[in-house]
Chains A and B, each alone.
Chain A
Amino acid sequence: MVLIKWREGYMNLFQPCADGIRSACVVLCCSLILAFPVAATTGENRHCQDSGPLVFGILPFISAEQLVFRFTPLVNYLSENLKVPVRIETAPDFVEFARRTHEETYYDILFTAPHFFTRASQKAGYRLIASVDSPEMWAVIVVPKQSEIHTLQDLEGKRLATVPPLGLATLLVRKTLFEAGIDPDVDLDMVITPTHDASLLSSYHGVTDASALMQPPYAAASKKVRDSMRIVARTESTPHIPISVAPWLGEACAAEIAELLVNMGTTLEGSAVLQHNRFTGYRQGDPSVYERLNDLLSR
């Protein structure tokens, strides 16, 4: 797969393109491919060098500031070991992130929610190379400790903060509410916030009555906030975060990235990175575990 870096991102040349410019670009790039075939890897940890700077796309599940803070060590680790610049990029929101992923195949390495991966894999051909080696994750509904809400039924008529509609937490919570006989579109007021942090702080500050968010961001929230909150309900579990690569990235490069991730815990630097991310490690990715999430998006 070959991409041309466009004014606003990368364009997948193998995606259907209707306009003449894209067709021209396809012809041009094919010529380039014939003239300069992809060079074979020349040694260890050199497989990604020809791919140029790699874009490490992360779902904007937390603020950009937090996101850069949390994932810079990981990106730097990859960059140093792959001998190629790796850059963090995200999107203004989930929808735009999904659009870039699905329509532009914008990100070289994709760090996204499990249900987004299944769609990215299906629509844009992203290949799973690793997963966060942690127990499955789930969403939680939390309320302030002194709140009168103790069960899901108590949420009726209340304001529930959550992440954007496509967010995994929202989807899981909606499913759980439905299963509890509560129609989230009718029985309560779903208040959309841009990130998990925003959702949590919304009820913490009393703007909403309850907050829905994934458990890992909740666990990573400040102790002061968590100590003043109480979990009312949790959703079903989902596989942990998958890490995939764009379809045009070479197998050797993808394998090298996967190897670096899986073996991260074996090096001192890698362990520090994992500790910073509060991950225990990465394991080889198994696409089949994510298949059960297909119906989640269909809702």
Chain B
Amino acid sequence: MHRKSITLFQSLRFRLIASVVSIEIIMLSLLVWNNISIIQATHTDRLRDTATSMIQQIARTSGNYMVAVDYATLEDYLSNIIDYQELSYLVVLDRDEHAVIALGEFPVQPWPVLETHPAQVTDGVFDVTDVITVAGQPMGRVLMGFSLSLMDEAIRKSRTRGITIAVGEIVLTVIVTVLIGLGLTRRLGILAAAAQEVGKGDYSIKIPVEAADEVGRTASAFNYMVAEVSNRTQQLEAAESRSRTLLAENRNLVHASLHVQEEERKYLARELHDELGQCITAIQADAESIRDLSRDGDSRIKTSAGAILDVSSRIYEVVHSMMQRLRPGILDDLGLVEALKDALAAWQERNPNTHCLFNASGDLANLGERINITVYRIIQECLTNVSKHARAGTVTITLTGTADLLMLDIKDDGRGTDLSAPRSGLGLIGMRERVESLGGEFRLDSRVGEGLSIMISVPLPGDEAQS
């Protein structure tokens, strides 16, 4: 496991900072925009309300002066109002629309277009009017203009202040986020490096727990996990070691058991041949003598001697067959290939519906008794399985010997088997044990309806080992 370099966009630090800053910018932009809108609306509404209030007040107050045609007093009164800093001009018109009082920077006629809200203003002056009435009777009207310059200045200042605060907050956020991100990712980097070391098998590593935050808790959990993994690994290694020892012992036991079994079989075959075979041969010779001596005598003796001959012949055949199964003598006399040919011929004779093909190549003459009997027994077991279960049309056996490896491949085109299904037979297990006891590999491949294939490879010992 090697440490990959992280691209900018994969970096948690970059993504954290980019996300926070993006959200900050968006939210603050919305906030500033909203505040500016509110400020603008507040200012314009205030100006509208101020204008409405002032002009209504003036219109109400001016009525009596208008009726009394007391313009001088009215002008004195309004002169105080014109000092209001947002007020640009103030004009009082009589019932004939003649300007009887004009204060401030009043416009020349025609009078400006009136607006109902400062937002409608295009010339920088909010022009409003109200009718002067007395007892419901119109006596003229008041025309007032409110300069938007002060309001615009206030809005501009508010906007500048809002944007400055927003920019300051963004900068502060970036700094804080970068610092937090650096601290966070540095500790995560330590965690990642430690995990890599653990992956390499170094369980002695321990991360310093710098704080009681989430990363600190993760570091504590990591340290605990490493300790547990180390403990469990040690336990597993011990168990594995014991298993390996047991397996080796088991294989030795199997090997010894098989060896003993073969030796016992060999002994039994020799005893059958040397002792029982000689006795049967003697019985047969005696029976033939009795039969020959009684040729002119009692016919019953002849009959009994013939029966003894038949029985002894039958016994001999059975014994011979047992001897072949226990220890094929041809294996010791003519070698593996000839023994296999003989066994395959006998099998073919018993299973005429299955065509058996045998190919042998390479140097198979000096494989040693252990390998010879192992290969012979495996093929013998496979053919038994084929005749019992496979219902195969053809079974092909390929035996190849190289300088250091013996390979055996047995394939049939029978109905195959489901390897995942549990099985009760010991045949396959025995084959595997035999091969593995020789240090070889045993592979089985089969699918339902697609036949079965067994591949075996056995390492060949050197000349010294064989001898």
Contacts and interface: CB of A to CB of B under 8 A. Distances in A.
Interface of A: 8-9, 53, 60, 63-69, 72, 87-92, 96
A87 B139 CA distance: 9
Interface in B56-71: 63-65, 67-71
A298 B68 CA distance: 27
B71 to A, nearest CB: 7
22 contacts: A8-B71, A9-B69, A63-B64, A64-B63, A64-B67, A64-B68, A65-B63, A65-B134, A68-B134, A68-B135, A69-B136, A72-B136, A72-B137, A87-B95, A88-B137, A89-B68, A89-B69, A90-B67, A90-B69, A91-B68, A92-B70, A92-B73
Contacts of A8: 69, 71
A85 B341 CA distance: 147
B69 A68 contact: no
A60 B65 CA distance: 12
A250 B134 CA distance: 30
A68 B67 CA distance: 8
Contacts of B63: 64-65, 68
Given A9-B69, A72-B137, A89-B69, A64 B95 contact: no
A69 B71 contact: no
Nearest to B71: A8
B71 A88 contact: no
Contacts of B71: 8
Given A64-B63, A65-B63, A90 B68 contact: yes
A63 B136 CA distance: 15
B237 to A, nearest CB: 111
Interface residues of B, number: 16
B135 A69 contact: yes
Interface string B89-123: 00000011000000000000000000000000000
Contact of B67 (A9, A53, A88, A96): A88
Given A87-B95, A92-B73, A65 B68 contact: no
B135 A89 contact: no
Interface string B32-76: 000000000000000000000000000000011101111101000
Given A89-B68, A89-B69, A90-B68, 14 more contacts: A64-B67, A64-B134, A65-B63, A65-B134, A67-B67, A68-B134, A69-B135, A87-B95, A88-B137, A89-B67, A91-B70, A92-B70, A92-B73, A96-B68
A207 to B, nearest CB: 21
Nearest to A53: B96
SS of A interface (majority): mixed
Contacts of B70: 91-92, 96
A72 B139 CA distance: 12
Contacts of A9: 69
Contacts of B139: 68
A268 to B, nearest CB: 22
Interface centre among B63, B70, B73, B95, by most A CB within 10 Å?
Answer: B70
A69 B137 CA distance: 8
A8 B96 CA distance: 14
A102 to B, nearest CB: 16
B69 A65 contact: no
Contacts of A72: 135-137
B78 to A, nearest CB: 16
B110 to A, nearest CB: 22
Contacts of A90: 67-69
Contacts of A53: 96
Nearest to A88: B67
Contact of B68 (A60, A66, A69): A60
B93 to A, nearest CB: 14
Interface centre among B64, B69, B136, by most A CB within 10 Å?
Answer: B69
A91 B69 contact: yes
Contacts of A66: 135
Contacts of A69: 135-136
A201 B149 CA distance: 48
Contacts of A88: 67, 137
For the complex of A and B, list the 7 residue pairs with the smallest distance between their C-beta atoms, beginning with the closest: A69-B135, A64-B64, A68-B135, A68-B134, A64-B67, A92-B70, A92-B68
Nearest to A9: B69
A272 to B, nearest CB: 17
Contacts of B73: 92
A18 B95 CA distance: 31
A64 B63 CA distance: 8
Contacts of B95: 87
A67 to B, nearest CB: 7
Contact of B137 (A63, A68, A96): A68
A65 B64 contact: yes
Interface in B124-139: 134-137, 139
Contacts of A89: 67-69
A9 B136 CA distance: 24
A90 B67 CA distance: 6
B63 to A, nearest CB: 7
A87 B95 CA distance: 9
A63 B65 CA distance: 11
